[in-house]
Amino acid sequence: MAAIDHHYLYPFLAAEAFAEFSADDRGALYCLSDERYIPVSWYGHGFSDTNPPDLDKDTILAILDEAEDGRARSFVPAWGESLVSLELMTDREMILVRSPGNEVFQASLAIRLAAMEFRTTRLHGDLPATLSPDNYFSALRADPGSRCALEAGIYELNLEPFVSWCVSVCPHAQRAFFLLDFLRFLQAVAHDTATVRSTEQESAIISHFSPRAADPELLGFQLAASMHRVFAAPANTIPHIESFISIDLRESGSANLLASFLSERR
């Protein structure tokens, strides 16, 4: 954990916050999804077999809106009959819930700033669209990034080893959130020169646009190496390329080549 310099992931951020609250019995970091706060990472007894409960957004915000400095102590029925501590980590998007929530403790300024930077600067944005193989060639040609491009280097980046490593480091974090944040990271890194699609597996299809013939294998290796450096992951967990292809966007026959490539994926 000490090797990770950047707070890209909810669970790593939570681990630092939880380290400050060792006197508490239980704690959970929540993020806002639609009309509910859903748990992302947690610690403490009582959570070994079950996830912390979802929390109703209106109920929680009604409590926090009456509090000073985004902190409150209150009864939250889903957490039992004891008072718990609630604290905004960002502007309503992330909250930390602790039980019993000793009033002396509060998240440090460094943790708050890291949480804010996490969402507002580094990983704020939409998730990549889901891959639609039937019309992917048309989507590539219609993409604004392809206007001055003649070629596209396309590869599938397998994220499963990376995600599994994160889960091993933070076993009480939801696996799906690691994957979502990796996809957001890829989207943020590649958006100027490439397009990203998520898949049903723990992988992404990435297409780099180029005015000349592109080497998709090299492009994929460079992106995977960047992820390795940013997240300080072990070498054996680096995302790896499953398959790759380079196509000419001007040739209609490339549609068939791309369709065949996508159909042969694992």
- What confidence tens digit (pLDDT) does each residue in 154-210 have? 999 999 998 888 777 666 667 887 788 788 888 888 877 899 999 998 999 999 998
Q: How many domains does the chain have?
A: 2
Tokens of 39: 């748990």
Q: What is the model's pLDDT at position 196?
A: 93
Same structural domain, 167 and 89: no
Q: What is the model's pLDDT at position 153?
A: 93
Same structural domain, 25 and 114: yes
Q: Let me know if residue 4 belongs to a domain.
A: no
| Vertex 30: Cα angle to 25 and 36 (nearest 5) | 125
Tokens of 97: 């819930």
Same structural domain, 98 and 148: no
Strand-pairing partners, residue 41, are: 29, 173
Using 70 as the pLDDT threshold, list the residues of the chain that sit under it: 1-25, 43-49, 90, 100-125, 169-173, 231-232, 266
Q: What is the model's pLDDT at position 104?
A: 46
Q: What is the model's pLDDT at position 5?
A: 36
C-alpha 168/C-alpha 69 separation (Å) is 35
C-alpha 25/C-alpha 82 separation (Å) is 12
Q: What is the model's pLDDT at position 207?
A: 94
What is the residue range of 185's domain?
129-263
Same structural domain, 145 and 251: yes
Same structural domain, 60 and 141: no
pTM over 0.85, yes/no: no
